[in-house]
A and B are shown apart, each in its own frame.
Chain A
Amino acid sequence: MATPVPDPEAAAAAGLIQEFPPAKLYPLIELPVPQFITPAADYRAGIPIVLDLGTRQTRAGFATDSAPRFEFPTQIARYRDRKILRTFTLIGSDANLDANTRQAAKSPFDGALVANWEYLETIMDYVFVKMGVSSQGRIDNPIVMSEMLAAPLAQHKHMQELLFETFSVPSATFGIDALFSYHYNNGSNGLVISSGHETTHVIPVVDGRGILNQSKRLNWGGHQASSFLLNLLQLKYPHTPAKITPWQAEMLVREHCYTAPVSYGDEVEHYLDRDDGFDERNHIIQAPFTEVIAPVKSEEELAKIAERRKESGRKLQEQAAKIRLEKLQQKEQELEYYRHIENKSDQVSAKEFKRLLDAEGLSDENELTKIIKNLDKSIRRSRKQDLGDGEEESDAEEMTFPLLDIPDDQLDSEQIKQKRHQRLLKSNYDARMRAKAEKEREQEKKEEEERKDEEWRERDLQGWIKDRRDQRASIMNRMKEKQRLKADLNNRRSLASQMRMKSIANLASDSPNAGTTTPTGANSAGSARKRRREDGEDDGFGVDDSDWAVYRDIANASDTEEDDEMAESIRKIEEQLMVYDPNFSLDTSLEAQNNWMNSLVHAFLRGSRPFDPSSRAEAHQLHLNVERVRVPEVLFQPSIAGIDQAGIVELASDVLSRRLSKNDSAKVCKDVFLTGGYSLLEGLDERMRHELRAALPVDTELGIRRAEDAILDAWKGMRKWVNEEENLKNHMLTREEYLEYGPEYMKEHKMSNKALV
């Protein structure tokens, strides 16, 4: 995007420059240093292992723990060190150990689904290693795992295969993370809105059981939001040297984005206005950078350098003076020599003198006198220069042309020659004089005009102001017209462009000004021109000066000279208006209109302060303003990100008012429950309250609450669920059942997906 170049001088001239307090900067967060997870030492067989396998993070722990033992990003890096010929497999935050492995890190997920089961198996290995599982050939613990809503059967089947075949677990079960989270928060009737890393789910729950066939999935989560923000920033600052990683973009969403409290339109309406709150709305992210520090010289060194420079300057001056002096001396000698020859003309005979002149390579006495005169002049000039006084050599001394008035027949051949020379000189002189007079006349005219202008102004201020304003408007129009034309020329099909091609064709054609005749051929052009010259025909081109403009028109280059001229005249008129027109203020001037203070784009890109392109720090700054609301808004208006799905409010109100029975709906409305990592967005609950209130009948009892811990509650819910005796006894799929019914069999319970036949 083009950045309007701020012109500090213009701002200063307009009196708009002001001091700014230092801006509040938010640092770009760096990836945390990975921490080692030691395998658990207190492993005991039989205690259920609770595993929340999320697309972003995986959490695991024993059912006896109050919180997961560890959590790590669900990623795997395979990296081969070619020097020692060894391949490392690193899981979770271990993959962030060094730059090579960080680059190789991949997720087993594609979107919300497990795409790579090799990776997933390795990640499960890692989990069980870190849980300290020490049983031989099998895992002696029931497993509780999370699963996405309505996962394809193949996903479920693969996961069961993995658990029962590869790890030989005694029993396992799967449930929807959002429902577990709600279970942990003691919910039984409510609408669960779970916004995770890859998806957002809306699940109504009645009597503790999810109504899954009325549930909906929106394909938008924290991951999509952060890559949306990243794309926006890359387009906003295409040339920034600052590099943002996807992880950092995720952090930016978490730290800086918030949901518009009432409506997006209201929130952004005045977002970029330069009012008092703008600095708070505009978050400046400072990416790390290295300041290039120019070595600063000490006072002493500077003095030394100055001294040295002076010294060398003086030396040069001396040298030049010496050379001048030598030249002068040489010239003086020459002058003396020629004078000597000149003097001889009186003493020796004419013939002898002629021979002397010949020896010098001179044709006659005149040439000698000319040389002498020239030498004399240059000597005088250089002496003057040495003396340093800039006395203007008056060229305007009255010149005399005595020979011109004498008729030719009274002169000898030599004098005729001289006379011709004098005539030339005289015409030259006359021309100079005429030019001078012209200049003076012009000066007078100008003064006269100014005087008249002033008179007019004093007589009729309003009329004068109107005239000036009209002038200004007409120049502005011309400038605009030029800009438009320039833009049009870029488009090959525009009228301006076609006119230009026509003029070019016309100039190149055999018969100019006859656009209808087509050139017969390229080779005929030369002969035609010749023919025209022979005929002595003239098309009259150039009689009018404006004819030449055709070349400027076809040149298609920006005419900076004319632009400058127009800008200058506007500036002059504005200066006058500023003095005499009470209604003309700084804000209306062209410069102020071009000023960055009034630029929306500048506010969007650079915030409330002037931008200094030379500052390294500012080059590494990213301004988050509208994006802070725009990115979270996708949840409500997925169309912003090109997703052809209904927003969460539309989904929720549809479920509440149309899909549930009246009785259920009334119960469910009382408890709208927000969970999942992306639901931590600031203001999401407020916005939901506001929008649902507007969408539901007036007397609806509406309750909105957030999960206690939107990220960990799914794990805690799974732990709570498995610690309930009945669940562990009746709702786990046992090994025997698995062997009997096969890997596609699914055991349903309150938290689980519906069995897909």
Chain B
Amino acid sequence: MASTTPPSSGSAQFTLFDADITMAPKPFRNPSHKTPTRRIKNSKQIVSDEIKRIQSLPDEARTAALVDTPTYMNVEAPPSVVPRKWWCDITGLKAPYRMPGNGMRYHNKEIYEVIKHLPPGVDQQYLQLRSANVVLR
């Protein structure tokens, strides 16, 4: 099925068969090595594993890791200490007002009208953009 002559570099004329990597010869792989199965972890799990690993270190090393050595956790930027500014949730302009009820920020009375007539749930979608939505559990 695969075309006999491989396409030239930079060519846009090639098929799934040419591109498929499973069939390409891979002589460089170590034939005696067996890959462990299922090595999938999402980033949350990776981070919590890292936290566990550091906590299980011997005391001296742990203190060093927490204080001096950069770890994934302690290089994370801290929360801001400058006063927060508010911007209109819909337009992004200056927002001197706050909608009672859902807490959306808005620019002027025209935007107020828009917010008032938003379909149900859309206000929460706007708030979700800045993680201020109400999450029901």
Would you call A586 an interface residue if the criterion is a C-beta within 8 Å of the partner chain's C-beta atoms? no
Query: Which residues of A124-175 have CB atoms within 8 Å of chain B's CB atoms?
Result: 125-126, 128-129, 133-139, 149-155, 158, 165-168
Task: Answer whether A216 and B49 are a contact pair too, CB < 8 Å, given A38-B9, A168-B30.
Answer: no
Task: Please state if A87 and B22 are interface contacts (CB–CB under 8 Å).
Answer: yes
B74: chain A residues within 8 A (beta carbon)? 150, 213
Task: Please state if A642 and B132 are interface contacts (CB–CB under 8 Å).
Answer: yes
Task: Answer whether A38 and B8 are a contact pair too, CB < 8 Å, given A271-B93, A600-B108.
Answer: yes
Task: Answer whether A642 and B11 are a contact pair too, CB < 8 Å, given A167-B30, A754-B70.
Answer: no
Chain A, Cβ-Cβ closest to B50: A152
A155: chain B residues within 8 A (beta carbon)? 46
Task: Please state if A88 and B65 are interface contacts (CB–CB under 8 Å).
Answer: no
Give the A interface residue count (CB, 8 A): 99
Task: Please state if B111 and A600 are interface contacts (CB–CB under 8 Å).
Answer: yes
Task: Please state if A91 and B16 are interface contacts (CB–CB under 8 Å).
Answer: no
Chain B, Cβ-Cβ closest to A270: B93
Instruction: From A94-102, A344-352, A532-540, A608-616, give the one contacting chain B.
Output: A94-102
User: What mask results when residues 52 to 68 of chain B are scored 1 for a CB within 8 Å of chain A, else 0?
Assistant: 01000100010011001
Task: Please state if B77 and A218 are interface contacts (CB–CB under 8 Å).
Answer: yes
Task: Please state if A272 and B93 are interface contacts (CB–CB under 8 Å).
Answer: yes
Of B16, B42, B72, B79, which contacts A98 at CB under 8 A?
Answer: B16
Task: Please state if A129 and B21 are interface contacts (CB–CB under 8 Å).
Answer: yes
Give the B interface residue count (CB, 8 A): 80
Task: Please state if A637 and B75 are interface contacts (CB–CB under 8 Å).
Answer: no
Task: Answer whether A133 and B28 are a contact pair too, CB < 8 Å, given A640-B87, A756-B65.
Answer: yes
Task: Please state if B91 and A600 are interface contacts (CB–CB under 8 Å).
Answer: yes
Task: Please state if B91 and A626 are interface contacts (CB–CB under 8 Å).
Answer: yes
Task: Please state if B14 and A235 are interface contacts (CB–CB under 8 Å).
Answer: no
How distant is the Cα of A97 from the Cα of B17 in the complex, in angstroms?
Answer: 11
Task: Answer whether A36 and B18 are a contact pair too, CB < 8 Å, given A231-B129, A757-B57, A757-B64.
Answer: yes
Task: Please state if A35 and B11 are interface contacts (CB–CB under 8 Å).
Answer: yes
Task: Please state if B28 and A215 are interface contacts (CB–CB under 8 Å).
Answer: no
B107: chain A residues within 8 A (beta carbon)? 600
Query: Which residues of A1-53 have CB atoms within 8 Å of chain B's CB atoms?
Result: 1-2, 33-38
A600: chain B residues within 8 A (beta carbon)? 91, 107-108, 110-111
Task: Please state if A138 and B16 are interface contacts (CB–CB under 8 Å).
Answer: no
Would you call B4 an interface residue if the criterion is a C-beta within 8 Å of the partner chain's C-beta atoms? no
B100: chain A residues within 8 A (beta carbon)? none
Smallest beta-carbon distance A130→chain B, Å:
9
User: What mask results when residues 102 to 115 of chain B are scored 1 for a CB within 8 Å of chain A, else 0?
Assistant: 00000110110010
Task: Please state if B75 and A154 are interface contacts (CB–CB under 8 Å).
Answer: no
How distant is the Cα of A125 from the Cα of B126 in the complex, in angstroms?
Answer: 43
Query: Which residues of A59-87 have CB atoms within 8 Å of chain B's CB atoms?
Result: 79, 81, 84, 87
Instruction: From A114-122, A551-559, A569-577, give the one contacting chain B.
Output: A114-122
Chain A, Cβ-Cβ closest to B13: A36
Q: Which of A38, A121, A152, A646 has the most CB of B within 10 A?
A: A152
User: What mask results when residues 733 to 757 of chain A are scored 1 for a CB within 8 Å of chain B, else 0?
Assistant: 0000000000000000000011111
B57: chain A residues within 8 A (beta carbon)? 757
How distant is the Cα of A350 from the Cα of B108 in the complex, in angstroms?
Answer: 94
Of B20, B31, B43, B87, which contacts A89 at CB under 8 A?
Answer: B20
Of B22, B24, B46, B87, which contacts A154 at CB under 8 A?
Answer: B46
Would you call A666 an interface residue if the criterion is a C-beta within 8 Å of the partner chain's C-beta atoms? no
How distant is the Cα of A98 from the Cα of B15 in the complex, in angstroms?
Answer: 9
Task: Please state if B28 and A167 are interface contacts (CB–CB under 8 Å).
Answer: yes
Task: Please state if B122 and A645 are interface contacts (CB–CB under 8 Å).
Answer: no
Task: Please state if B21 and A89 are interface contacts (CB–CB under 8 Å).
Answer: yes
Query: Which residues of A603-629 have CB atoms within 8 Å of chain B's CB atoms?
Result: 604, 626-627, 629
Smallest beta-carbon distance A359→chain B, Å:
75
B25: chain A residues within 8 A (beta carbon)? 129
Task: Please state if B94 and A215 are interface contacts (CB–CB under 8 Å).
Answer: no
Of B64, B65, B81, B94, which contacts A650 at CB under 8 A?
Answer: B81
Task: Please state if A641 and B130 are interface contacts (CB–CB under 8 Å).
Answer: yes
Task: Please state if A646 and B78 are interface contacts (CB–CB under 8 Å).
Answer: yes
Task: Answer whether A89 and B22 are a contact pair too, CB < 8 Å, given A168-B30, A645-B76, A646-B81.
Answer: yes
Q: Is the interface of B mostly helix, strand, loop or mixed?
A: loop
Task: Please state if B76 and A166 are interface contacts (CB–CB under 8 Å).
Answer: no
User: What mask results when residues 182 to 193 of chain A are scored 1 for a CB within 8 Å of chain B, else 0?
Assistant: 000000000000
Would you call A219 an interface residue if the criterion is a C-beta within 8 Å of the partner chain's C-beta atoms? yes
Task: Please state if A36 and B26 are interface contacts (CB–CB under 8 Å).
Answer: no
Query: Which residues of B1-52 have CB atoms within 8 Å of chain A's CB atoms?
Result: 1, 6-22, 24-31, 33, 35, 39-43, 46-47, 49-50
User: What mask results when residues 77 to 106 of chain B are scored 1 for a CB within 8 Å of chain A, else 0?
Assistant: 111111011010011111000000000000
The 21 listed contacts between A and B (C-beta, < 8 Å) are A1-B114, A36-B7, A36-B11, A38-B8, A91-B21, A115-B42, A115-B43, A136-B28, A167-B30, A215-B70, A216-B77, A219-B76, A231-B129, A268-B87, A639-B85, A644-B79, A645-B77, A646-B80, A650-B81, A755-B69, A757-B61
Chain A, Cβ-Cβ closest to B67: A213
Would you call A719 an interface residue if the criterion is a C-beta within 8 Å of the partner chain's C-beta atoms? no
Would you call B135 an interface residue if the criterion is a C-beta within 8 Å of the partner chain's C-beta atoms? no
Would you call B117 an interface residue if the criterion is a C-beta within 8 Å of the partner chain's C-beta atoms? yes
Task: Please state if A265 and B91 are interface contacts (CB–CB under 8 Å).
Answer: no
9 residue pairs, one from A and one from B, having the closest CB atoms = A642-B131, A642-B130, A117-B39, A94-B19, A38-B9, A152-B50, A630-B92, A626-B92, A645-B77
A265: chain B residues within 8 A (beta carbon)? 85, 94
Chain A, Cβ-Cβ closest to B18: A36
Chain B, Cβ-Cβ closest to A238: B122
* Seed contacts A88-B19, A152-B49, A166-B35; 12 additional CB < 8 Å A-B pairs: A1-B114, A34-B12, A35-B11, A36-B12, A112-B43, A149-B70, A151-B72, A153-B53, A166-B33, A645-B77, A753-B70, A757-B69
Q: Which of A97, A117, A215, A600 has the most CB of B within 10 A?
A: A600
Smallest beta-carbon distance B41→chain A, Å:
6
A208: chain B residues within 8 A (beta carbon)? none
Task: Answer whether A97 and B19 are a contact pair too, CB < 8 Å, given A36-B7, A650-B81.
Answer: yes
Task: Please state if B26 and A110 are interface contacts (CB–CB under 8 Å).
Answer: no
Task: Answer whether A122 and B80 are a contact pair too, CB < 8 Å, given A599-B110, A630-B92.
Answer: no
Task: Answer whether A113 and B43 are a contact pair too, CB < 8 Å, given A639-B80, A642-B130, A646-B78.
Answer: yes
Task: Please state if A88 and B116 are interface contacts (CB–CB under 8 Å).
Answer: no
Would you call A90 an interface residue if the criterion is a C-beta within 8 Å of the partner chain's C-beta atoms? yes
Smallest beta-carbon distance B115→chain A, Å:
9
How distant is the Cα of A153 from the Cα of B77 in the complex, in angstroms?
Answer: 20
Would you call A269 an interface residue if the criterion is a C-beta within 8 Å of the partner chain's C-beta atoms? yes
User: What mask results when residues 636 to 661 of chain A are scored 1 for a CB within 8 Å of chain B, else 0?
Assistant: 01111111111100110000000000
How distant is the Cα of A601 from the Cα of B71 in the complex, in angstroms?
Answer: 46
Task: Please state if B80 and A645 are interface contacts (CB–CB under 8 Å).
Answer: yes
A158: chain B residues within 8 A (beta carbon)? 39
Task: Please state if A228 and B129 are interface contacts (CB–CB under 8 Å).
Answer: yes
Chain B, Cβ-Cβ closest to A218: B77
A112: chain B residues within 8 A (beta carbon)? 43
How distant is the Cα of A122 from the Cα of B125 in the complex, in angstroms?
Answer: 38
How distant is the Cα of A115 from the Cα of B130 in the complex, in angstroms?
Answer: 26
A756: chain B residues within 8 A (beta carbon)? 65, 69, 71
Task: Answer whether A152 and B72 are a contact pair too, CB < 8 Å, given A600-B111, A645-B79, A646-B80.
Answer: yes
